[in-house]
Structure 1
Amino acid sequence: MTASEGADHQVQAISSDEDVVRVRQLVRVAAVAAKLSLVDQTKVVTAASELARNTLVYGGGGRAEVSRVANGLRNGVRIVFSDSGPGIADVDLALTDGYTTGGGMGLGLSGARRLVDEFRLDTTVGAGTTVAVVKWAR
């Protein structure tokens, strides 16, 4: 377990179910500090939970970086998930509602994308995946 750095930037290793819970907690604290509404806090924590679980299950573990951000007009939360796993062979298919390789509901990536304001996925087959999301205060 590694939760480190300053109050505006936390890094959490993801190698167990307990780490997924820790990511959720870090995101909740950052969302409250960024003054997100309760609804938006719930959305970003849910997205983070899905993405942390994907990092663990499909990426074989990795890390999450949670930061408070500002763009001059508003505050928000940015979370970057990264792993060195197998990568995603077909990103369009992986982002399709209902698609799953793990027997779940298939809402992880597509659902997370809908819950946040910014979503960026970078993946290389055989080298890993990075997903960066931002949720802005209204």
Structure 2
Amino acid sequence: MRAEEDLLTVRHAVREATLRVGFGLVDQTRIVTAASELARNAYVHGGGGVLTLEIVQRGGRRGLKLAVSDQGPGIADIDQALTDGYTTGAGLGHGLGGARRLMDEFQVRSTPGRGTTITALRWIGPR
């Protein structure tokens, strides 16, 4: 993700992956929204990044795992970054926390000065 146009490509790729997994429309929208927010953060705050998609199976369940990585400045205080209302830009401050609420599993790994990787997973069916 190196250009604004890449964010649209991300949305299309994630939507296609949700269809392959078999997600319904509501979950498709949740996952695409979360992916879009994570990709935008990597682009805006991390100077670009990489998205990987993985269809996963565990215990008879299917899901979609997103990993967004960048080589940007990192996140000094992850808890603060996940707090609604916190922003380092001009946004509303719902980005990371909102993306976390849309997914079933969510992990942030970040090293200041070296970048950030966010992994998020959504399962089909009840939690």
Alpha-carbon distance between aligned partners in 2 of 1:29 and 1:78, rounded to the nearest angstrom = 13
Report how far residue 114 of structure 1 moved: 0.1
Report how far residue 17 of structure 1 moved: 1.3
**What do the CA deviations read for 1:13-34 (whole angstroms, capped 9, x no partner)?**
x111111111111111111111
Could you tell me which runs of 5 or more consecutive residues in structure 2 were left unpaired when the two chains were aligned: none
| Secondary structure of 1:58 counterpart | helix
**1:5-24 alignment, distance < 5 Å:** 14-24=1-11
**What do the CA deviations read for 1:85-111 (whole angstroms, capped 9, x no partner)?**
000011111000011011101111000
Alpha-carbon distance between aligned partners in 2 of 1:67 and 1:117, rounded to the nearest angstrom = 15
1:80 maps to 2:63:
no
Q: Could you state the TM-score of these two structures normalised by the residue count of structure 2? A: 0.96
Count of residue pairs brought into register by the alignment: 125
Match of 2:38 in 1: 51
**1:1-138 alignment, distance < 5 Å:** 14-138=1-125
- Runs of 4+, deviation exceeding 2 Å: none
Alpha-carbon distance between aligned partners in 2 of 1:24 and 1:77, rounded to the nearest angstrom = 14
Considering fraction of residues, name the structure with more helix: 2
Q: Could you state the TM-score of these two structures normalised by the residue count of structure 1? A: 0.88
Could you tell me which runs of 5 or more consecutive residues in structure 1 were left unpaired when the two chains were aligned: 1-13
| Secondary structure of 2:46 counterpart | coil
Report how far residue 72 of structure 1 moved: 3.6
- Aligned sequence identity (%): 54
Alpha-carbon distance between aligned partners in 1 of 2:59 and 2:18, rounded to the nearest angstrom = 17
